Every structure is written in structure tokens, then in C-alpha cells.
Structure 1
Amino acid sequence: MASVAEMDIDIPADLGFRATLDRTLVHRSAVSEVFVTDLRPVSETDVVAAAQLPLNHGYFSDHGRSPAVFDVLLLLEAGRQAAIAGTHAHMGARAGTQMIVDRFAIDTDPAALLCGDRPGELVIDNRFTVVRRRRDRVRAGRVEQVFRVDGVRAGTHTMDVLFLTPGEYEAVRHAQLGGPAPLTSGQTAAPTGVEPRTVGRTNPLNVVLGAPVVRDGALTAEVRPRWDNPSLFDHPYDHLPAAVLTEAARQLALAVPVPGGSGTPGARRVTGVRAGFTGFAELTSPVLASTPADGAATGERRVRFEQDGARIADTTLTVTDTSRLGTEETPR
């Protein structure tokens, strides 16, 4: 079987971008948070999806950088939605199935993601693999994806997922917590007080970290999202979802002081992420993110997440200097 880098799936000529899929197929509550517009099985293992990338979105467009580029986490979310819808349609996942992200890796080319004067048309090649099956149910699976924006190859994504029935999920969470899990919809917190531009944001609503501090050679911050952020918390969760931890990792990576004091978060972007999750980020105690307090301004940067002294997630981010994007050296 070809690797994700070699995938070349025939694209249906009538793949549509006119309207989004039913929001329930991608596990979203708000229609405005649905990006996938079409889904077509083309073989026993392959599915092609279409998605529209918005030019102006309260969360995904809030970066204060010029020129504007479609966010790597927007592609990650579109890929997640395509994977969920494809899993229901192609792998037989039943309604209500809980899909737990075990690990993922995304890599993008920012030059291929420069925004134009229209929303981006994203085509996602999906290849689904059953990793583990028990009786008649898929218990673990993998999806490999290739992204093309307006016909230009823009990146790749792989994701490994575990599948639980609602009853199994509730039993696992009850056993872990010794009782019902609290929900994000019941949480309250004051604004973090972090200056948004120091973490690559402009709107305080999108800041997900408390004030970073340097301790034992590491830059550390508590993960403290705004619970009223309608994109990160489109519906209630009983833990901090992977999307919040990924955003926290990005913000901490951009908060690391640039050697020599030159440069700003606006000149650097996260263009790739690898992440693995070993536990739930519970709502019952602080989750801490940490990364080395020094190092290069660009390249790979590791961010670790811990809760109650135990590691729950590891991420490695690719930070790229995009100050020359949009010049003649980086044509679309």
C-alpha cells in the first residue's frame, strides 16, 4: 500500500463545495463550525472529501500576521471532520461512537496556504485502515490524508483513533474519576491576563494559557482556555480536548523568547505538529504545558503536558519563519 506521501487518488469531477455536510456527521453543534462540503468513497479503502476554508473566522483567522495564510489547525480540523464523517460512512462506525485520538501528525506548506480573495477549496484524499477489530466492530483505526488547496498540494496528515461505544466510554471515565466527570459547560474562569500578541493571537478569547514562567530551565504555563470560546468548545466535553492542548502547545512555542531579542511571534508560524496522548486532560486539576526556555527561534520544538505529576501528552511542533511569504521568492 502506498504511503501517505505517495497517495494519488482520482478526484471526482463533480466534487461539491456548495453546502456543508450534516453537522452531526462531523460531531459539531454549530453549522458555522462545519467545513466539509462533500464526501465520496472511491474504493474499498479510499474516500475523497471537499471542504471550504473561510477567509475570516473568529478562531482560525485570529493571528495578526501578514500575509494571511490558512491556519495549520484549520486544516487539522477539516481533516478531523473528514475522518469522522468517512469513518461513519466507510468503516461502519455507529452513531454515538466515541472517537478518541491516540496520536496524529500534520505537516503543511505555508506557501501553498496563502489566502487569496475567495475562500479556499480544500480537497482531502483519505485512506482508511482498520488497525484492530473485535467481533463485528472496529476498535482502532488509522486515516492517512493528503491536502490540496485550490489544486496545489498543501500538506499531509495521519491520525490514529480508538473507538468506544457510549457505554464503554462512560464506564472508562467513571472508573478513572470515581464518579461522573464534570463538563466544560459548567466551568467558569477569569481571563488569563496574557497579552494575546505574545502567544501569536489578537483576540483575548483565543488565548488558552496562563502567564508563562521560567522554572528549572523550562518555560511553563497552565492551560487555561476561555470556556466561552465557541470554536474550541462547540459542545460540552468532560476533559480538555486534543484541539485545546494543540493550541496550548502552539501558543507556548511562540511565547519562547527569540534569541537576541529579534523577531516577533508574527514572523513565525507553526506549520507542523506531531502529538501523542497518554491520558485525558481532566477538568479537576491544573494541566501544565512546558518547553525548553531557550533554543532556536525556528525548527522543531517539543511541548510536554503534565497533570498531577503524570505526563498526559507530548507534542513536537515545527516553527517556520514566514516573513518572506508573499514575495516573489514564494509564489502561490
Structure 2
Amino acid sequence: MTTDLDPAVRPRAGLSFGRTVERGLVHRTAVSEVFVTDVQQLGEFSVRAGAQLPLNHGYFSDHMQRPALFDPLLLLESGRQAGIAGSHAHMGLKPGTAMIVDSFTLALDGLAALVIGRVPAELRIDTEYSGKRSRTGRVRRGRVDQQFFIDGTRVGEHAMDVLFVNHHEHDILRHSQRGTPAPLTSDFPDLAPAGQVEAGLVGRANPLNVVLARAEVGAGTASALVAPRFGNRSLFDHDYDHLPAAVLVEAARQLALLAVGGTAGAAAVSGTHVVGVEASFSRFAELDAPVTASAPLPPSGAERRVLPVEFTQGGEVIATVTVTLVASSAIGPTA
């Protein structure tokens, strides 16, 4: 869908990258976890946002891969923030409304523009919204389509199918799935899990950012328990009554890298980059029951690998996250 610019809402001369937006607009508690700096309306159902990608961040910068790229999950989070901020600021979404992601896709193609340089990157996010309004004018389900640009170069695209619910509706939804009140992340201690995977095996330096434990690699598959640290304030910026989608996506990335290391050797992890993620979520990942991630081992020697990671809880598949990986040689020349 292409949206013509409405003269009445034509954007200002340029996006501002001088300060972040109000943290409540992007549903974040810590200002340090806000990346969106500006949101401008383009048309009735479209906005343009700016986000500054930091050079140094405790979670998004903690990677062993070389050359160092801005984290695809940082672009994913920036897109989420731009989508929710735009819907509040310009699409009429009421305060207190949550955006639950049913599924999403992320595809990156301008990898050379994502190589980290000497200054933070200024990311432009063009967003279009679609969805049917009820008789009261409210959108319950919708789609968010985004294009990412750095210095005028398109670096990727992102799309989300989402459900908009208020706090009361969220409580009803959670109770219908569980039948009992859900615990909160604040109810659990912040302890390193038994059998936590060694950070370097999943491309990390800081064990705080490792979300897998009791991993097994062999017989054609890789599997592990999803076991994040609840004290990781990038993954758990506020209290949750479930494991958020970002944790499952990180777990999928780490299991995919672990699988690559299992077939091509641990050294291959530092030369392997995520360029695509496709995810669907059928249930909430509960905090009080084990969640297991599993994936087939990829063929060794391939420059491009696609690994479907399946998450199960209580014998039921609750999510599938497919991760696309490429070797460093696919990045191409940089400026």
C-alpha cells in the first residue's frame, strides 16, 4: 500500500535526533531504553520516525561477531517503539493500550550500512498502519509495515500483525489461558540458572545476556531451556507476567548460533550474522513452567542458513521463530 503525503500533515523539514521521545509513548520505564527521537505524521495512516542507534549498549552491543553490526534486534526494538509511538501520537491509540504481537517478519539487506562506525547511526523508520475499525472507531487488530533507512540507504523491512488491548482485556485474555493469576517477573530471584550456556558459544561476552541453559547439541538437533536473567533490564525493563517476545527471539538467535557452532566449530559463531527473523506466537510463554527451544542443526559450510526454532511449554508448541544467518563475507564492501 502506498500512501500519498497529505499536505495538511506534511512532515517538518527533517527528523530530529537531538533527544528521545517521552518514554511512556514507547511503553518503556527507563529513558536509556528509548531509541526513538521523533515521530512525524505523513498521511492518515502513516508516520515517519527517527531513532538513534547507540554505539555502546549493555545488551544490544554485547556481541562477538566481526565486523560489528548494529544489532538486528535493536532495529526490531526501534521499529516496535516507532510503531507504538506513532499509534499513540498520531493514530488515536489511547493511553494504557498494549500492542500484542501475534507475528512479525524482519528482513535486512543493506548490511554494509549497518556496520558500526565512529558515531551513532540515525535510523529512519517509515511506518504504515492498516486495520479495520469497529463501529466505535477502535482498531482491535491491525498490521504495521515498516521500511528502515540509514543515511538514505534502505537497510531492511519489518512487518507486525498486532492485537490492541486495554488492561482489562489483557487480564481477561491471560485468565482465559491460565485459569489462575499469573506470577510476575518480580516474584522470581535474579540468579544465573544451573547449566547456563557459556556466553561465547552464543556470540556473547556478558553472561547476563545469555538466555539459554542445559543445552544439548547432537543427533541432528540443538535444544536448550529458555532461562533469562530477570535482572537484565533491557529484556525486562518493567514487570511482566510472561516471557516477552523479545526474550524468545533472543533465545532463537542464541540457539541458532549454538547450532552453527555445533556443526562448523565455535569459531564460526564470530563470523555469522542474523539477517532475518520470522516469528509467530500462539500462546504466552508462562514464567512458572519450563520453556524449551529446539532447532535442527544446519549444514556446515553454507554461506546462508535458515533455522526454524520451535518453543514448547507443557507439551504444546507456543511459538516458532525462524532465524536466517549469513557469513561475514555476505556483508560486502563498506564505505
Same fold (TM over 0.5): yes
3-state SS of paired residue (1:138): coil
3-state SS of paired residue (2:147): strand
Cα pair 2:115 2:334 within 8 Å, conserved: no
Paired position in structure 2 for 1:210: 213
Pairwise CA distance, 1:243: 0.3
Paired position in structure 2 for 1:280: 284
Unaligned runs of 5+ in 1: 4-9
Cα pair 2:298 2:307 within 8 Å, conserved: no
Cα pair 1:52 1:119 within 8 Å, conserved: yes
Provide, for residues 274-315 of structure 1, a one-character-per-residue CA deviation record: whole Å limited to 9, x for no partner: 000000000110011000134345321110111001011111
CA–CA separation in structure 2 for the residues paired with 1:132 and 1:200:
44
Cα pair 1:268 1:323 within 8 Å, conserved: no
Q: TM-score with structure 2 length normalisation?
A: 0.91
Paired position in structure 2 for 1:302: 308
Unaligned runs of 5+ in 2: 4-9
5 Å-filtered alignment, 1:74-113, equals 74-109=74-109, 110-113=111-114
Cα pair 2:103 2:160 within 8 Å, conserved: yes
CA–CA separation in structure 2 for the residues paired with 1:272 and 1:11:
30
Provide, for residues 73-102 of structure 1, a one-character-per-residue CA deviation record: whole Å limited to 9, x for no partner: 000000000000111123321111121100
Paired position in structure 2 for 1:127: 128
Q: Does 1:265 align with 2:269?
A: yes
Provide, for residues 193-237 of structure 1, a one-character-per-residue CA deviation record: whole Å limited to 9, x for no partner: 321010111100000001311476421101000000010000011
Paired position in structure 1 for 2:149: 148
Tell me which amino acid in the other structure corresponds to 1:281: A
CA–CA separation in structure 2 for the residues paired with 1:140 and 1:311:
23
Pairwise CA distance, 1:135: 3.1
CA–CA separation in structure 2 for the residues paired with 1:27 and 1:175:
24
Q: 1:163 to 1:262 in 2, by over 3 A?
A: closer
Q: 1:271 to 1:292 in 2, by over 3 A?
A: same
Cα pair 1:132 1:141 within 8 Å, conserved: no
CA–CA separation in structure 1 for the residues paired with 2:135 and 2:298:
47
User: Higher mean Cα deviation, 39-48 or 166-175?
Assistant: 166-175
Provide, for residues 108-137 of structure 1, a one-character-per-residue CA deviation record: whole Å limited to 9, x for no partner: 132120111110000101111114635331
Q: Does 1:70 align with 2:70?
A: yes
Q: 1:152 to 1:12 in 2, by over 3 A?
A: farther
Sequence identity (%): 53
Cα pair 1:91 1:138 within 8 Å, conserved: no
Q: TM-score with structure 1 length normalisation?
A: 0.92
Q: 1:217 to 1:134 in 2, by over 3 A?
A: farther
Tell me which amino acid in the other structure corresponds to 2:275: T
Pairwise CA distance, 1:26: 0.1
Paired position in structure 1 for 2:203: 200
Q: 1:12 to 1:266 in 2, by over 3 A?
A: farther
Paired position in structure 1 for 2:7: none
Provide, for residues 4-58 of structure 1, a one-character-per-residue CA deviation record: whole Å limited to 9, x for no partner: xxxxxx8743310000000000000000000000000011121000010000000
Paired position in structure 2 for 1:181: 182
Cα pair 1:200 1:254 within 8 Å, conserved: yes
Tell me which amino acid in the other structure corresponds to 2:286: E
Paired position in structure 2 for 1:7: none
User: Higher mean Cα deviation, 214-223 or 63-72?
Assistant: 214-223
5 Å-filtered alignment, 1:35-54, equals 35-54=35-54
Cα pair 2:263 2:297 within 8 Å, conserved: no
Cα pair 1:196 1:202 within 8 Å, conserved: yes
3-state SS of paired residue (1:147): strand
Provide, for residues 140-159 of structure 1, a one-character-per-residue CA deviation record: whole Å limited to 9, x for no partner: 11111110112221110001
Pairwise CA distance, 1:322: 1.1
Paired position in structure 1 for 2:165: 164
Cα pair 2:224 2:293 within 8 Å, conserved: yes
User: Higher mean Cα deviation, 235-244 or 253-262?
Assistant: 253-262
Q: 1:260 to 1:281 in 2, by over 3 A?
A: closer
5 Å-filtered alignment, 1:216-235, equals 217-235=220-238
Count of paired positions = 323
Pairwise CA distance, 1:259: 3.6
